[in-house]
Structure 1
Amino acid sequence: MTSVAREGLNIDHVARFLRSTLLNEYLALPIATLACWLRRESSATHFASLIRLVSSYGGYLDKARVEKVGSIALALGAAGTLFSINDWLTKWAANNWRAIKRGEWDWDREIVLVTGASGGLGASVVQGLLARNPRTTIVIIDFAPMAWTPPVDAKVHYYQADLSDTAAIKAVCARVRAEVGHPTVLVNNAGIARGFTILDGSYADVELTIKTNLTAPFLMIKEFLPDMVKHNHGHIVSICSMSAIAPPPGIADYSASKAGIQAMHEALQLELKHRHNAPSIRLTNGIFNFIRTPLFKGETGLPSRLAPLLHVDTVGDAIVNSLYSGYGGTLYLPGIMRYISMLRGAPEWMLRILRESTVNIPVDFKGRQKIDEKTGALRSS
């Protein structure tokens, strides 16, 4: 199913269409070159022939129109070229200017660990990976029981663990290494959102959110990064959020944890290259708008043509495609979020206007998590 069918037509589809047509330098620049050539005096014979050809089909062409078309095509081609150069620089800077080597990724042998994959986005990523290669070894760590059934012959290993508990993380990671092996791909997907203001949330609400969303990814990386560094091979995916850029009221702890994920991702990029001499380990950071998962209920109230409520499989497909590309980078969904992110450098008054727009988003952020009133710990059901 395509994203058009999932979210409906939105600005991302329009942008992709324009990029492949009007802003496609491989189309626009040849047209500009042809127009320039037709303006030459030596091309008068060819120009007259072109006029007769166009006129025979009911059109009308003269030198002035050719010059105008050429100027427009040149401008569009130049813009497309700048977009391509920017994309090229962004890709290679994120990957330390290192191309994939032949045989670097063998999905029959990779071990992929996805946290929070008993359902929601994590499940979508795992199902997408199995659809690409049913022989890939998958490890799922989640507090919730599995809400879906993997194919009978799939190499899927499920471990139940509370990722807000550091001792549980250490124990389950040791089991994974002993029973399955060292993961080469880590998708830090697990997350919770309690949906309370800073004043209304309990100590347990704040602690569980920060521990699950931020501390757990740090510790999971600490557990499995040493083997990746040893072989200079691996891919770590972090799940950030637009709430780290424009935090709405009611999920301050969640937004703070995602801002921490952004900082962790950026620091880890430099540490791998300059401190650990492992520049071939790929890092992907996903900055997503609201996703329709068990994490929250309701609608965002945002214009669906600009900021659609994302289908879980749209995001899952993007993560799987990134993994299979072999390269790291930043995933923005919808794509317009990359330009909103740029506003972090805007004047404070302008940024405040953006943040004020999040005040009345009618979303129930409370999600599926339940807390034991006596212990303050998560309950599995």
Structure 2
Amino acid sequence: MLRNGVPFLWGVGILYQTNKWLSRCYLNALTGNSAWDWKKEIVILTGGSSGIGAAVASRLAKNGTKVIILDIQPPLDETVANVFFYATDISSSTAIEQVAEDIRRQHGDPSVLINNAGTGNSKLIMDQSAAETERIFNINILAHFHLVRQFLPAMVKQNHGHVVTVASMASFVTQGKNVSYACTKAAALAFHEGLGQEIKHRYHAPKVRTTIVHPTLTRTPLVEHVTRDSQSRSFCLEPETVADAIVEQLYSGQGGQLILPARFSLITGIRGFPSWLQELIRDALTSSRQSKAS
């Protein structure tokens, strides 16, 4: 039995590594890396004052990279070297346009854009006001369009850059009381995929990389209301764990899709599951969330 199982395990391992290699090749347009000098790169980071963003900013800044934070709240420590804060409401396209002009004039053209800022609530569709829905969409997805329009042209011109989209496992599965947030995260995945296609086929800038990150529930102020019980807390990722993965991806010079934790990769294929199984999964997630809220 053991002897028969060894070739099978070898075969699975070979298929797994081949799949990783093919994904890496085709998600990077079959091109090698451009030269990155992280002492000279300029990073735009939305939502960098807390949570995942703050952890990313800290790691990059410690290694000498200039990080420009766009957020409505200042970082806890505004004296950190290499970190620059611009108070910006990214739900406003006008505010984004104005701050982009200031950044280019004062710092030059950024080579990395990390669309990390996000918001949401646990309201039912019928209980959410139009203003609340619009704000979630403005921050979680429309800001990505506005920021890319501002900063991608310079990356394309240099054929050098990286756009990181911080999405969620909600890109793949929706539960009740989370609909507007999940809609924006599904849209973020479509944005990432379409952006990569445009960079490759329309702008012919294959060394401008794109990465999307799908963390599961992460211990940030955004989800504090659903992580009060010990079971949820034990299930949560720490912001530092997600930040480590993002920074490692940047330093690799490669684009790609990060599922955090990796053992949840199967969920990315949920849309290919039988409809009844998809519904059972959604039922279980919604029931679990409702019981924690009660």
Which bracket does the TM-score occupy, shorter chain normalised? over 0.9
Structural mapping, 1:234-253, within 5 Å: 234-253=161-180
Query: Mean Cα displacement is larger for which, 190-199 or 316-325?
Result: 190-199
Higher helix share: 2
- In structure 2, do the counterparts of structure 1 residues 339 and 258 end up closer, same or farther at CA, with 3 Å as the change threshold? same
Task: Indicate whether 1:194 and 2:95 are aligned.
Answer: no
When normalised by structure 2's length, the TM-score is 0.93
Query: Of the two, which has the highest radius of gyration?
Result: 1
Partner of 1:146: 75
Give the SS at the match of 1:277: coil
C-alpha distance in 2, partners of 1:249/1:162? 28
Summarize deviations over 1:157-207 as a string: whole Å, max 9, x none. 110011111111111111111111111000000111122111001111101
Classify 1:93/1:303 alpha carbon distance in 2 versus 1 (closer, same or farther; 3 Å): farther
Alpha-carbon separation, structure 2, partners of 1:238 and 1:320: 13
Q: Where do residues 180-191 of structure 1 align in structure 2 (5 Å cutoff)?
A: 180-191=107-118
Aligned mates of 2:228, 2:7 — CA distance in 1? 40
The alpha-carbon deviation at position 347 of structure 1 amounts to 1.6
Question: TM-score if structure 1 supplies the norm length?
Answer: 0.73
Give, in whole Å, the separation in 2 of the partners of 1:122 and 1:172. Answer: 19
**Residue correspondences, number:** 292
Match of 1:105 in 2: 36
Secondary structure of the 1:330 match is strand
SS of the residue 2:48 aligns to: coil
Report runs of 4+ in structure 1 exceeding 4 Å deviation: 300-305, 363-366
How far apart, CA to CA, are the structure 2 residues paired with 1:324 and 1:237? 12
CA contact (8 A) 1:290 1:310 kept: yes
The CA distance in 2 between the partners of 1:201 and 1:267, in whole Å, is 29
Matches within 5 A, 1:1-381: 69-101=2-34, 104-131=35-62, 133=63, 135-151=64-80, 154-297=81-224, 298-299=226-227, 308-362=235-289
Partners in 1 of 2:147 and 2:290 — Cα distance? 30
Could you tell me how far 1:71 is from its partner in structure 2? 3.1
Q: Deviations over 1:288-323 (max 9, x none)?
A: 111100112133879779x93111100010000000
Percent identity of paired positions between Structure 1 and Structure 2: 37
Q: 1:324 to 1:365 in 2, by over 3 A?
A: farther
The CA deviation at 1:354 is 1.1
Q: Check conservation: 1:290, 1:300, Cα contact below 8 A.
A: no
The 8 Å contact of residues 57 and 83 in structure 2, kept in 1 or not, is answered as: no
Counterpart contact for 2:61–2:83, Cα < 8 Å: no
Instruction: Tell me by how many angstroms 1:72 deviates.
Output: 2.8
DSSP 3-state at the match of 2:170: helix
Alignment partners' CA distance in 2, 1:172 and 1:365? 40
Q: Per-residue deviation at 1:249?
A: 1.2
Superimposed CA distance per residue, residues 92-137 of structure 1 (whole angstroms, 9 cap, x where no aligned partner)? 1111111124xx1000110011001011110011111123x1x211
Distance 2:291 2:180 in 1: 15
Query: RMSD in angstroms over aligned alpha carbons?
Result: 2.2
In the TM superposition, what is the alpha-carbon distance from 1:334 to its structure 2 partner? 1.3
Amino acid at match of 1:182: D
Question: Shift in Å at residue 86 of structure 1?
Answer: 0.7
1:141 is matched by which residue type in structure 2? L
Q: Which runs of 5+ in 2 are unaligned?
A: none
User: What secondary structure, in the 3-state scheme, does the structure 1 residue paired with 2:235 have?
Assistant: coil
Unaligned runs of 5+ residues in structure 1 are 1-67, 367-381
| CA shift digits 1:248-267 (9 cap, x unpaired) | 21121111111111000001
Partner Cα distance (2:122, 2:18) in 1? 41
Deviation of the 1:358 alpha carbon: 1.4
